[in-house]
Amino acid sequence: MNSFNNRHSEIRSLLNPAFCGILLYNSICAYEKENSNGIPFSVILLVLPFCLHKETREIILKKNRSNLFKIIEDNSHILINFADRTTNYLPFTFEGLGLIMKLNMFKITDNGFLVTHNKKAKINKQYSDETKKCIKSAVIIGKLFGKISDNETIYRTLGVRP
């Protein structure tokens, strides 16, 4: 991956560590509301491919009262290239996690779960509508993953392997 300054301006804007970190943080918080043990590290890697892929994000936002199994059953096409998308977003996920960890916003438990440590991040009213949608979808996907709370089941449902 190119260093931050050598990336295309669109990549720097859309996939910057602060933005990705806020999405990941909000997803961790939502997961914790469903399962206080925290989100498994392997599951947090799946958040950005849901939130940053526009078609998938729109489906998640429309079906926010549903469960992940029903969403996938009704919209199986969103899993096309999901594994590749996940792999492509990994560097940005790691950068976002690195930033929010440096800011002491979460910690890793002895069991390898991510739990929030500092609950100060809020949705800014000045964010664009698209940014707010990304954040809201991160919250929804965190909640959906938290309701399942089994990383193996989540991965099997999505047809990917850790």
pLDDT at 117: 77
Residue 1 resides in a domain: no
Q: How many domains does the chain have?
A: 1
**In a structure prediction context, what are the per-residue pLDDT tens digits for the chain, which is 162 residues long?**
556 566 555 565 667 898 999 999 999 999 999 999 999 999 999 999 999 999 999 999 998 778 999 999 999 999 999 999 999 999 999 999 999 999 989 999 998 899 997 665 555 667 788 889 999 999 999 999 999 978 899 998 888 876
Domain extent, residue 87, equals: 8-158
Residue 133 resides in a domain: yes
Residue 145 resides in a domain: yes
DSSP string covering 63-118: TTTS-HHHHHHHTGGGGTTHHHHHHHHHHHHHHHHHHHHHTTSEEE-TTSEEEES-
Residue 95 resides in a domain: yes
Residue 2 resides in a domain: no
